[in-house]
C-alpha cells in the first residue's frame, strides 16, 4: 500500500505480478493480480490472471493484453 499511497493512485488502477506465497497479500489488495506460470498452485489460486514466465516475456504479454496495446 505504500507505493499506492505514494503515487496517489488506487488498487483499482494498479497491476501486480508475483510468483510466490509472499505475494498473496498483495494479490488480495490489487484488483488486477497476475501470477507467473511458474508460481505454485496456492499462489495462482489468488491471482486474477496467469501469464507466461519471466523468461518468456510473461510480464510484457500480460500488459499488452490488459491494456490492449498494439506492438
pLDDT tens readout for residues 28-47:
999 999 999 999 999 999 99
CATH code of 37's domain: 3.40.50.1000
Distances (CA, A) of 42 to 14, 18, 20, 35, 46: 22, 12, 9, 10, 7
Q: Is residue 44 domain-resident? A: yes
For a pLDDT cut of 70, what percent of the chain falls above it?
A: 100
How many folded domains does the chain comprise?
1
Output the pTM of the full model. 0.87
Q: Is residue 10 domain-resident? A: yes
Q: Is residue 22 domain-resident? A: yes
Amino acid at each position: 500500500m505504500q507505493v499506492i499511497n505514494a503515487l496517489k493512485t488506487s488498487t483499482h488502477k494498479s497491476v501486480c505480478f508475483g510468483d510466490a506465497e509472499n505475494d498473496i497479500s498483495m494479490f488480495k489488495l490489487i484488483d488486477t493480480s497476475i501470477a507467473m506460470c511458474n508460481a505454485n498452485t496456492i499462489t495462482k489460486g489468488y491471482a486474477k490472471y496467469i501469464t507466461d514466465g519471466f523468461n518468456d516475456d510473461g510480464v510484457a504479454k500480460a500488459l499488452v493484453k490488459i491494456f490492449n496495446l498494439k506492438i
